[in-house]
Amino acid sequence: MMADHPELSAQEKAGKAFPVSWDQFHRDCRALSWRLNAVGPFHAMVAITRGGLVPAAIVARELGIRVIDTVCIASYDHTKQGELQVLKDVSAEVAKLGGGTGKGLLIVDDLVDTGKTGRLVRAMMPDAHFAAVYAKPQGRPLVDTFITEVSQDTWIHFPWDTALSFQPPIRDGGV
């Protein structure tokens, strides 16, 4: 891993790319739904925006969850993780369904990375079931259910952040 250079983006520091197609992401979300179906039912779902919105839609459909709320936390731009900002908390109605501690609520995110967001959301709803499609080692202890673990130095390229374009072969410097 490279030394800590603030002028380098997280992606440049990471060095490992993990591109995820829409098809693969949908399969992973369905696999997450299978696992969650065994631990539910859930009163409601809370998606961590923005990354949790797409998996939340898929999981909600698969599990028949109709009450869906968001907790809006800004921590990433497209290249680096910064300080956390709670832009919107869980609604009073959904918090009430979880008894104020999140019991019976399902929290969904695309990725748990360093755990900063996860710790903040856990503090808001300590008894909720926290699920993520992907987990990195630093954040993994915070989630109850996930599908794929990737190394801490891997940068996941989600399908909503990418476009189809030519990629050079690996031997020519492609990733």
Active site residues: 109-110, 113
What whole-number distance in Å separates Cα of residue 93 and Cα of residue 6? 41
What whole-number distance in Å separates Cα of residue 125 and Cα of residue 120? 9
What whole-number distance in Å separates Cα of residue 157 and Cα of residue 20? 6
Burial of 139 (0-12, 13-18, 19+ CB in 10 A): buried
Evaluate whether 58 touches 29 at the Cβ level (below 8 Å): yes
Evaluate whether 46 touches 70 at the Cβ level (below 8 Å): yes
Evaluate whether 130 touches 36 at the Cβ level (below 8 Å): no
Burial 48-87 (b: 16+ CB within 10 A, else e): bbebbbbbbebbbeebebeebbbbebebeeeeeeeeeeee
